[in-house]
C-alpha cells in the first residue's frame, strides 16, 4: 500500500486550521473554546470560522466538515475539478448523520414526519454532503464505527485507490458535540470533570471534543497527471476486533497489538522503522493501560508515543482523521509535541509517554480503539526534509 496524500484540512479545539492545530498543541494552556456539557463535564469546542457557520441551517458537523474540506481542496490544488467521475469520498462519524437530529427522531416516533425534517436528516450524512457539493462520480461512504471511524475511513479510501476504483478519494472524519454522545459517555462513568490527562497515573476519564479533518488521497498516476508533488503517503492500515466487551478494550491490548502488527506487515516494515506513535490515548483507565501494554510488547519501550487528546478532547468519529493529519504535520516538522498534560508515570504502564522532542522519522503510527473491541492502525510515510 502506497497512496499519496496531496492535501489536508483540519479544524479542532486546538486550532482553526492545520497550522493552528499543530501550534495549539504546544504548551500547557487549554486549547480552543472550553466549556461545560449539559451534565457539567468539561468539553472542547472547535473555533468554527464564522464564514462556515450556517446558523443551524445545517448540522454543525457538516459546518465543521465544510471548513476542513475547503482547506484540504485548496492544499491539494483541487479548487476547480474538471472531471469528478473517478473521485470518491469516505468520511467517518458517530453522532453525525444519525444521532445529531433529535427533532427528526422525535417526529418519526410520533409519526408526524414532514418533508423538511426528512431532507435535513439526509443532508446530515457527511459523505453524501461532500458528494453532492462537488458532484462526485465515485463511491460515497459514511463510516460509523464509533471512535475508530476516522481512521477506518482513511484506510478504506486507500483500499479503493489500490483496487483501481478511484483516482482520488476525499477521506476524513467529522463530529460535533452532542447531548446523545455526552450522555452516553457520562452514563459509563468515563468522563472527567477536569482537563483529561492521557497515560497519567492520576487520569480519571476523558473530555469530549468536536472537529473535522480531511485528507486528499491520490494514486501515484493521478499525482503525476496533475503535476503535483507529494512527500506524504499512507503506507499501511489494518483493523482487528477483540470482541471481548461492549465498551472496554481487552486489558492487555491484544486487539490493538494485532492491528499494529498487521499494519506494519501491510507497509512492509519492521517495528524499529516506526519513528513515533500518535496513540488513541483517551485518558480513561482501561484504554491507556491496554495501549501502553501493547506498545511495550511490540516496541520494547524504544518508540516514543503520546496522546494529543489533552488539547483536543476526544472528537469521536473525527478523532482518527484529526490525528492522522496531526501525525502527518509532525512528520513534516520532524518534531512531536509529547503527551499533552502528562505528569506522573503510571506504574502499571510499562514505559511512559514521550515529552516534546525532535525526531528523525520516516514512518509514524496512529492508533484508534472503539467500542465493541474495534482496533485500527494507520501508518504514514514521509519523504522530505524537516519543515521549519
Instruction: Kindly list the catalytic residues.
Output: 147, 280, 314
Q: How far apart are CA 45 and CA 57, in angstroms?
A: 19
| Contact criterion met (CB below 8 Å) for 312 and 251 | no
Nearest Cα to Cα of residue 362 among 327, 325, 311, 323:
327
How far from the centroid of its chain's Cα atoms is residue 282's Cα?
A: 12
Q: How far apart are CA 196 and CA 163, in angstroms?
A: 40
Cell of 347: 506504574
Amino acid at each position: 500500500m502506497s497512496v499519496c496524500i496531496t492535501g489536508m484540512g483540519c479544524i479542532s479545539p486546538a486550532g482553526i486550521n492545520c497550522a493552528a492545530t499543530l501550534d495549539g498543541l504546544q504548551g500547557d494552556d487549554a486549547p480552543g473554546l472550553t466549556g461545560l456539557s449539559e451534565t457539567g463535564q468539561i468539553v472542547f469546542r472547535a473555533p468554527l470560522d464564522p464564514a462556515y457557520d450556517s446558523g443551524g441551517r445545517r448540522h454543525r458537523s457538516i459546518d465543521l466538515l465544510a471548513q476542513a474540506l475547503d482547506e484540504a481542496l485548496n492544499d491539494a490544488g483541487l479548487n476547480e475539478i474538471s472531471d469528478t467521475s473517478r473521485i470518491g469520498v469516505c468520511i467517518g462519524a458517530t453522532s453525525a448523520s444519525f444521532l445529531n437530529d433529535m427533532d427528526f427522531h422525535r417526529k418519526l416516533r410520533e409519526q408526524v414526519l414532514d418533508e423538511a425534517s426528512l431532507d435535513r436528516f439526509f443532508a446530515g450524512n457527511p459523505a453524501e454532503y461532500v458528494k453532492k457539493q462537488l458532484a462526485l462520480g465515485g463511491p460515497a461512504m459514511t463510516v460509523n464505527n464509533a471512535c475508530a471511524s476516522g481512521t477506518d475511513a482513511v484506510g478504506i479510501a486507500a483500499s479503493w485507490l489500490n483496487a483501481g476504483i478511484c483516482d482520488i478519494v476525499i477521506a476524513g472524519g467529522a463530529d460535533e458535540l452532542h447531548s446523545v454522545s455526552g450522555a452516553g459517555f457520562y452514563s459509563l462513568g468515563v468522563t472527567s470533570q477536569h482537563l483529561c490527562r492521557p497515560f497519567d497515573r492520576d487520569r480519571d476519564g476523558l473530555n469530549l471534543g468536536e472537529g473535522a479533518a480531511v485528507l486528499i488521497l491520490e494514486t501515484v498516476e493521478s499525482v503525476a497527471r496533475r503535476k503535483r508533488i507529494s512527500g506524504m503517503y499512507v503506507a499501511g492500515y489494518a483493523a482487528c476486533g477483540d470482541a471481548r466487551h461492549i465498551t472496554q478494550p481487552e486489558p492487555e491490548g491484544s486487539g490493538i497489538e494485532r492491528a499494529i502488527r498487521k499494519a506494519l506487515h501491510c507497509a512492509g516494515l519492521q517495528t524499529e522503522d516506526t519513528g513515533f506513535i500518535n496513540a488513541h490515548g483517551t485518558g480513561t483507565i482501561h484504554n491507556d493501560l491496554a495501549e501502553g501494554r501493547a506498545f511495550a510488547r511490540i516496541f520494547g519501550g524504544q518508540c516514543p508515543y503520546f496522546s494529543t487528546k489533552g488539547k483536543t478532547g476526544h472528537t469521536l468519529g473525527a478523532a482518527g482523521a484529526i490525528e492522522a493529519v496531526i501525525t502527518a504535520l509532525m512528520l513534516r516538522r520532524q518534531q512531536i509535541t509529547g503527551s499533552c498534560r502528562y505528569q506522573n508515570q503510571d506504574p502499571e504502564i510499562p514505559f511512559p509517554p514521550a515529552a516534546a522532542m525532535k525526531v528523525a522519522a520516516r514512518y509514524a503510527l496512529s492508533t484508534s480503539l472503539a467500542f465493541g473491541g474495534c482496533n485500527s492502525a494507520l501508518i504514514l510515510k514521509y519523504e522530505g526534509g524537516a519543515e521549519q
